[in-house]
Amino acid sequence: MSERETPVHPGTRRRTPAAHVTLDAVAREAGVSLATASRALNGTARVRDDLRGRVRAAADLLGYIPNAHAQALASAEGNRTVGLICHDVGDPYFAGIAGGVMRAAAEQDLLVMLASTFREPAREIAYVSMLRAQRARAILLIGSGFQDRAWERAMDAELEPYVRAGGRVAVVSRHRSMRVDTVQPENRAGAAALAASLVALGHRDFAVLSGPPELTTVADRLAGFREGLAAAGITLRRVVRGAFTREGGHAAARQLLAAGDARPTCVFAVTDVMAVGALAALREAGVRVPEDMSLAGFDDIPVVREVSPPLTTVALPLTEMGEQVIALALRTPSRAGRSRVLRIEGSVVLRGSTGAPPGS
């Protein structure tokens, strides 16, 4: 196809750009086809020097800003964007992991797009679909998986073609059906070890403040705590469910106290943010921690060292987990096509919120 329209002269004064100048407008100004304008600006194919000059002069005249998404689709290097999907970045657990991801991404000049799903499975799938459309280099899921077959099928339908096209996926926490690289905190083993430590303090009567049962993290921590108690011949009889938030922990603790049963001597909240809410509820009810009731959490978010009393918990290296999940996503895929699982052990940290049971 020949290009016959009048060329733009180098000395022409730049116009004040409109709110959005399209590539089509640049092509018309340069007197070339849209395809030629695209090739001239993104360098994906050889274009005559005179045509390239005309296109670039037209882009400069109009104040054209190249579309980064379109360039990424055409570029051999691919997009410099990583998608990071979590349940709630306001939760210090996710903020800690996200901080590790962003630190590692910055070292490689990658841009992190962060989204919070607020634990809505459909929203998580929608965000994955959006990141696919943006041709993100990698997608990271750093929230608990959902024990829901319909969600698993829908997520697989989004991720399978993305991975087949060269996209990379890595996750934090257990996702039952996903065959992707995983940073797997040992939630079950950590909760079992915590139970053993609390039993060693003399406790025999326990309650658990638990999150939504469909979350794999909740299921694993609750199962591990049961197993740790069972190893000592103790049966867990009281589980109160609440939202996986500070407010959820506060409400669950109030429900436990209002039950009218003999109060447990020790309460385990399956996440630190729930434990912080529970601590406030116990204080409001005049329950002294640990003199009247011991309290423990899981994760070791920074705030639990500052509350009074400091919280007993299972510590996870959150920032390191973030660095590791993006490293897995950016590594060359396994030749055998097998998923890699990096297991992260938690360590029990006994602090002032737990002690011997009352009257011991």
Burial of 122 (0-12, 13-18, 19+ CB in 10 A): exposed
Residue 6 predicted with pLDDT over 60: no
**50 vs 293, residue with greater confidence:** 293
**110-150 pLDDT, tens per residue?**
999 999 999 888 899 999 999 988 889 999 999 888 888 88
> Where residue 287 sits, what CATH number does that domain have?
3.40.50.2300
Share of the chain above pLDDT 70, in %: 88
45: its two tokens: 């194919």
199 in the same domain as 309: yes
71 in the same domain as 144: no
Distance CA 265, CA 205 (A): 6
Distance CA 341, CA 181 (A): 6
Residues 6 or more apart in contact with residue 165 via CB below 8 angstroms: none
pLDDT score of 45: 57
Of 130, 48, 91, the residue nearest 302 (C-alpha): 91
Distance CA 104, CA 92 (A): 18
Torsion of CA 134, 138, 141, 146, to 10 degrees: 80
Give the count of beta carbons closer than 10 Å to the beta carbon of residue 227: 16
pLDDT score of 97: 97
Burial annotation 273-312 (CB, 10 A radius, 16+ → b, else e): bbbbbbbbbbeeeebebbeebbbbbbbbbeebeebebebb
pLDDT score of 77: 45
Contact status, residue 116 vs residue 143, Cβ threshold 8 Å: no
> Where residue 47 sits, what CATH number does that domain have?
1.10.260.40
Name the amino acid, one letter, at 97.
I
Residue 253 predicted with pLDDT over 50: yes
Residue 30 located in a structural domain: yes
Average pLDDT over residues 251-255: 97
Backbone phi and psi for residue 330, each to the nearest 5 degrees, phi listed first:
-95, -5
Average pLDDT over residues 15-20: 48
pLDDT score of 217: 94
Distance CA 348, CA 191 (A): 9
**How high is the mean pLDDT of the chain?**
87
Distance CA 270, CA 71 (A): 45
Give the count of beta carbons closer than 10 Å to the beta carbon of residue 114: 16
- Given 17, 43, 78, the domain boundary residue is 78
264 in the same domain as 176: no
**56-95 pLDDT, tens per residue?**
899 888 887 665 544 544 443 457 899 999 999 999 999 9
pLDDT score of 8: 43
Residue 355 located in a structural domain: no
- Given 9, 44, 78, the domain boundary residue is 78
Task: Evaluate if pTM is beyond 0.85.
Answer: no
CA angle, corner 113, sides to 112 and 114, nearest 5? 110
Query: Tell me, what DSSP letter sits at residue 271?
Result: S
**186 vs 335, residue with greater confidence:** 186
Q: In Å, how far from its chain's centre is CA 120?
A: 13
Domain extent at residue 262: 187-315
- With cut-offs at 50, 70 and 90, classify the pLDDT of residue 19: very low
Average pLDDT over residues 166-173: 92
Give the count of beta carbons closer than 10 Å to the beta carbon of residue 69: 12
Residue 349 located in a structural domain: no
200 in the same domain as 170: no
**254-312 pLDDT, tens per residue?**
999 998 778 999 999 999 999 999 999 999 999 999 999 999 999 999 999 999 999 99
134 in the same domain as 66: no
Sort strands 168-172 and 266-269 into parallel, antiparallel or unpaired. unpaired
* Beta bridge partner(s), residue 182: 171, 341
End-to-end CA distance of the chain: 92
Average pLDDT over residues 40-45: 66
Residue 359 located in a structural domain: no
When mean pLDDT is compared across 153-157, 240-244, 284-288, 308-312, the lowest value belongs to 153-157
Number of domains the chain contains:
3
Residue 352 located in a structural domain: no
118 in the same domain as 62: no
* Beta bridge partner(s), residue 113: 83
Backbone phi and psi for residue 356, each to the nearest 5 degrees, phi listed first:
-65, 150
215 in the same domain as 290: yes
Residue 142 located in a structural domain: yes
Residue 360 located in a structural domain: no
Q: What stretches of the chain show up as alpha helix (H) in DSSP?
A: 23-30, 34-42, 49-62, 68-74, 92-107, 121-133, 149-164, 187-200, 216-230, 246-258, 272-284, 318-330
